[in-house]
Structure 1
């Protein structure tokens, strides 16, 4: 995997993560969800290895997956709230770090190609996952941050529902089956909706337009 095709692998990994979460929730019991969420670490590792960066922070970022695995294992055996909360915060920071590294490669390096278009899709998926983690943390901390959820307060049961809610909000579908009940979570929801619209209107449109312009220029040069 190189910086010329890394986003193809990351797109596949993120899609597989979302699909496996849905399948586990549909067909298996709750204990399987914890195992499925652990595959997030694999996705994060793919992002670390794949995104081009010469900064030492990228090497040090390998600490995050190790810490995520450790807190996941401890939380699995102890069910300690503090450990699981720490686990989610580590996941959140690493997703943010991954999104930042992805943004740098997509926007600020080299010409626009197919890999960067895929990178912009990866960034969109990462935004959805980042907000899903924020919603999960809010629900765990406040206990009544959202309505329309089940009785369970286990993070690995809440997280799939918030993945669904996050992408429904990001795309401004707004089905209304889950809704925020606190001022802070309402802010998170409408700010995500605004961010999703600006992302599609500015970044994706700009990248696709630049790619089409580049292809047209290459075609004109070839014809000459």
Structure 2
């Protein structure tokens, strides 16, 4: 896996992880979400952070499950010790830095190809996850920030619903089953909707346009 195909793996990984989060919520105990988030972290490390590292340790097959296990133990310890918000802040920082690194690979390097278009899709999915973490933090800090949300104090119980709400918001579907109540929550929600529309209209359109322009130039030269 290198910069020519890393976003192919990352796209499938993120989709499977989002599906796994939903399945864990429906069929398993809430604590299964810890494992899903651990898998997310390790997947991002391998697909994004390790793309240029020939000796990157997480590329080794036997290291991958061990890394997931230790990250799950770490997150479980933080949760049991009452550091849910601290863990979410760490996760938020990691997702933001990963998004920045992904954006640099997509926007500022080389010719636009299919892999980089997939990278733009991955970046969109990462943005949705970032907003979901922000909403979870807000609900934990200010209970009642959102209507129709359970009053659970466990982040892993709240997070799957906010993943759903975040992607409904960023795509401006707005079903209304979950709604913000506090002014800060309302600001974050409409700001995400604005961000999502500008992202689709400007970034993805420009990437696809550049790709089509490259194809046209190639055909003219042949």
TM-score by length of 2: 0.88
1:117-175, Cα deviation, whole Å (9 max, x unpaired) = 00000000000000000000000111111111123221001000000000000000000
Partner of 2:124: 124
Structure 1 residue 66: deviation in Å? 11
State how far apart, in whole Å, the 2-side matches of 1:113 and 1:121 are: 13
- The separation in 2 between residues aligned to 1:68 and 1:162, in whole angstroms, is 22
2:50 aligned partner: 49
- Alignment partners' CA distance in 1, 2:30 and 2:104: 37
Equivalent residue runs for 1:91-110 within 5 Å:
91-110=91-110
Q: Report the equivalent of 2:75.
A: 72
Residues 1-224 of structure 1 mapped to structure 2, 5 A cutoff: 1-46=1-46, 47-50=48-51, 71-76=74-79, 79-81=80-82, 83-222=83-222
Cα distance in 2, alignment partners of residues 38 and 66 from structure 1: 8
How far apart are 1:34 and its partner, in Å? 2.4
Moved over 6 A (4+): none
Question: Helix, strand or coil for the counterpart of 2:173?
Answer: coil
**SS of residue in 2 equivalent to 1:144:** coil
| Contact 1:68–1:90 (8 Å) recurs in 2 | no
- For 2:156 and 2:139, locate their aligned partners in 1 and report how far apart those are by CA, in whole Å: 12
Task: Give the number of aligned pairs.
Answer: 207
Listed as ranges, the gaps of 5+ residues in structure 2 are 54-67
Q: TM-score, normalised by structure 1?
A: 0.87
Ranges in structure 1 where 5+ consecutive residues have no aligned partner: 54-64
Provide the aligned C-alpha RMSD in A.
Answer: 1.9
